[in-house]
Structure 1
Amino acid sequence: MIEVNSATKRYGSKTAVDNLSFTVRPGHVTGFLGPNGAGKTTTLRMILGLDAPTAGTVTVSGVPFRTHRRGLRHVGALLDAHHVHGGRSGTAHLSALARSNGIPLRRVDEVLREVGLTDVARRRVGGYSLGMKQRLGIATALLGDPPVLLFDEPINGMDPEGVLWVRHLFRRLAAQGRTVFLSSHLMTEMENTADELVVIGQGRLLAAEPLARFAARSTRPSVVLRSPQADELAALLVAAGARVEPEGVGGLAVTGLPANQIGILAFDNKIVLQELTTRSASLEEAFMKLTADSVEYLAGQQR
């Protein structure tokens, strides 16, 4: 379990994390979201003991990470796949970490096989593609068979097969009762992988709840329709209390009325429908709405 309690981190006059509290529990994949500059990287560094909080506490399994001897047995992490000596082979890199953490060397071959790098294990890491380096970073995180795992943008450079493999891996790790904390900017990956969400903005907590609840509370489902009589139908829908917005040629996005009522309204008024689809609440829309006031950089300007 990861517990962040009233954590604040200042760098001079800048406050990167501000009185932040949340808990990441075992048995779930918990997504970590926030705009650029929100404090995600600083939070991850505090969890791993790379930075100390200015105030508050950050603990892993009840104690600060720095107090864990042989840290890879307690927490596995991938923060930056490029932070590997390019002149070493994948095997040499993992073997050095295994020795320093008291991990049996047989684990090196096991995790290389797990991530699909057995055939390139003795090649220098400097010749690896980004996707291969990401796999090596995941192997490093798994090396000590730890109960807590942190991943920052783990699918960068992955091909579609790799992305699918990572999704299944994270779900399997959580199903084993591990704590899996995943930071990513890719909303589709969060929707496909995460069970819970922690969302921060400007270093402060904005939400900590199940993904489905987060998406549902921040947006309303809408209905997308297409009709050669879209203008006529739009007027009828507004009169019935719906909110209507254009969506492409002959298309409307409707909120405030369910699809069955829209279909009945069109039928009663002899309006042809070419499409009538319910669009569920979107994680991306929910995130953009919640973090709108927390974005540090906007296109063409700085707040």
Structure 2
Amino acid sequence: MIESTRLTKRYGDTVAVDDLTFTVEPGLVTGFLGPNGAGKSTTLRMILGLNAPTSGTVTVDGVPFTRRPRGLRHVGALLDAQDVHGGRSARAHLAALARGNRIPPSRVDAVLRDVGLTKAAGRRIGGFSLGMKQRLGIAGALLGDPPVLLFDEPLNGLDPEGVLWVRGLFRKLASEGRTVLVSSHMMAEMEHTADRIIVIGRGRLIADASLAEFSARHASRGVTVHTPDPAALEAVLVAEGASVQREGGPAVSVTGLTAARIGDLAHRHRIVLHELAAHTSSLESAFMSLTADSVEYLAGEPR
């Protein structure tokens, strides 16, 4: 379990993490989400004791991580897949980590096999693609067989097969009772990976809920209608309190009324409908809307 209590980190006048409180439970894949610059990486570094909090506390199974000798046996982490010595082989890199943490050498070949790098074990890391480096970083996180695992943007550079493999790996690790925290700025990916999500923006907590709870609270529901007389339909629906958006041509997007109610009203007013379909906005759209005020850099913003 990871517990953060009023965690704050300041760099001069800049507040990177602001009074952040959350708990990451074992047995679940928890997505740690937010726009770039939201404070996710800084939070992960404080969990691992790489950055000291300005105030507040964060513990792993009730103890600050810095108090644990041979840390890879307690927490496995992938923070930056590029942060490796390019002149070493994959096997040599993992062997060095194993020696420093008193991990049996047999684990090196085991995790190389688990991440699909056995054939590349003797190659220099400098020649690896980003996807291969991500796999090597995951191997390093798994090396000590730890109960707690942290991953920062682990899907970058992976091909579709690699993405599917990582999803399955995270679910397997959580099913074994481990605590799995995965940082990402991509809600669409976490929708397929996480059981629970923590969303932050500008260092502050925005949401902490199960995926189902987040969807129920933030994903909007609406109805798309195709009619040869959109103006007449709009007038009828607005009079009933609906919000109507004309999408051009025969398409109308409606919120505030069910598909059944729209069909009844159209029938009553003799308005022909060619299509009537209820829909729910994607969690990605909900996430983008929720974090819109927390985005640090906006494309096309005025200068």
Give the Cα–Cα distance (whole angstroms) in 2 for the partners of residues 53 and 14 of structure 1. Answer: 13
Give the Cα–Cα distance (whole angstroms) in 2 for the partners of residues 298 and 177 of structure 1. Answer: 39
Match of 1:244 in 2: 244
Indicate if the aligned counterparts of 1:6 and 1:20 stay in contact, CA closer than 8 A. yes
Q: For 2:286, what is the secondary structure of its paired residue?
A: helix
Range with bigger deviation, 44-53 or 276-285: 276-285
User: TM-score of the superposition, structure 2-length normalised?
Assistant: 0.93
Match of 1:117 in 2: 117
1:106 aligns with 2:106: yes
Q: For 1:104, what is the secondary structure of its paired residue?
A: coil
Match of 2:60 in 1: 60
Give the Cα–Cα distance (whole angstroms) in 1 for the partners of residues 302 and 49 of structure 2. Answer: 31
Shift of the 58–239 alpha-carbon distance from structure 1 to 2, 3 Å rule, reads: same
Q: What is the deviation of 1:206?
A: 1.4
Q: What is the deviation of 1:171?
A: 1.1
Give the Cα–Cα distance (whole angstroms) in 2 for the partners of residues 112 and 176 of structure 1. Answer: 20
Q: Which amino acid aligns with 2:52?
A: A
Indicate if the aligned counterparts of 1:296 and 1:302 stay in contact, CA closer than 8 A. no
Indicate if the aligned counterparts of 2:130 and 2:157 stay in contact, CA closer than 8 A. yes
Indicate if the aligned counterparts of 2:27 and 2:174 stay in contact, CA closer than 8 A. yes
Give the Cα–Cα distance (whole angstroms) in 2 for the partners of residues 227 and 138 of structure 1. Answer: 52
Match of 2:177 in 1: 177
Match of 2:70 in 1: 70
Indicate if the aligned counterparts of 1:78 and 1:138 stay in contact, CA closer than 8 A. yes
Match of 1:36 in 2: 36
Q: What is the deviation of 1:288?
A: 2.5
Among all aligned residue pairs of Structure 1 and Structure 2, give the percentage whose two residues are the same amino acid. 67
Q: For 2:82, what is the secondary structure of its paired residue?
A: coil
1:218 aligns with 2:215: no
Give the Cα–Cα distance (whole angstroms) in 2 for the partners of residues 137 and 302 of structure 1. Answer: 39
Q: For 1:19, what is the secondary structure of its paired residue?
A: strand
Q: Which amino acid aligns with 1:131?
A: G
Cα-Cα RMSD: 1.9
Alignment: residue pair count: 303
What does 1:106-255 align with in structure 2 at a 5 Å threshold? 106-247=106-247, 249-255=249-255
Give the Cα–Cα distance (whole angstroms) in 2 for the partners of residues 206 and 70 of structure 1. Answer: 34
User: TM-score of the superposition, structure 1-length normalised?
Assistant: 0.93
Indicate if the aligned counterparts of 1:230 and 1:251 stay in contact, CA closer than 8 A. yes
Give the Cα–Cα distance (whole angstroms) in 1 for the partners of residues 54 and 153 of structure 2. Answer: 26
Q: For 2:173, what is the secondary structure of its paired residue?
A: helix
Give the Cα–Cα distance (whole angstroms) in 1 for the partners of residues 182 and 288 of structure 2. Answer: 19
Give the Cα–Cα distance (whole angstroms) in 2 for the partners of residues 252 and 238 of structure 1. Answer: 12
Give the Cα–Cα distance (whole angstroms) in 1 for the partners of residues 174 and 302 of structure 2. Answer: 39
Flag structure 1 segments of 5+ consecutive residues without an equivalent: none
Give the Cα–Cα distance (whole angstroms) in 2 for the partners of residues 65 and 155 of structure 1. Answer: 25
Q: Which amino acid aligns with 2:230?
A: A
Q: What is the deviation of 1:10?
A: 1.2
Q: What is the deviation of 1:262?
A: 2.3
Per-residue CA distance 1:269-290 (angstroms, 9 max, x = gap): 4544443332224322322232
Q: What is the deviation of 1:183?
A: 0.8
Give the Cα–Cα distance (whole angstroms) in 1 for the partners of residues 130 and 4 of structure 2. Answer: 31
Shift of the 26–302 alpha-carbon distance from structure 1 to 2, 3 Å rule, reads: farther
Q: What is the deviation of 1:263?
A: 2.9
Q: Which amino acid aligns with 2:106?
A: R
Q: Which amino acid aligns with 2:2?
A: I
Shift of the 71–259 alpha-carbon distance from structure 1 to 2, 3 Å rule, reads: same
Range with bigger deviation, 37-46 or 237-246: 237-246
Give the Cα–Cα distance (whole angstroms) in 2 for the partners of residues 51 and 2 of structure 1. Answer: 16
Indicate if the aligned counterparts of 2:187 and 2:283 stay in contact, CA closer than 8 A. yes
Match of 1:10 in 2: 10
Q: For 1:297, what is the secondary structure of its paired residue?
A: coil
Indicate if the aligned counterparts of 1:215 and 1:281 stay in contact, CA closer than 8 A. no
Match of 1:22 in 2: 22
Q: What is the deviation of 1:291?
A: 2.1
Indicate if the aligned counterparts of 2:33 and 2:186 stay in contact, CA closer than 8 A. no
Q: What is the deviation of 1:144?
A: 0.8
1:260 aligns with 2:260: yes
Q: For 1:146, what is the secondary structure of its paired residue?
A: coil
Q: Which amino acid aligns with 1:250?
A: P
Give the Cα–Cα distance (whole angstroms) in 2 for the partners of residues 245 and 87 of structure 1. Answer: 58
Indicate if the aligned counterparts of 2:220 and 2:286 stay in contact, CA closer than 8 A. no
Flag structure 2 segments of 5+ consecutive residues without an equivalent: none
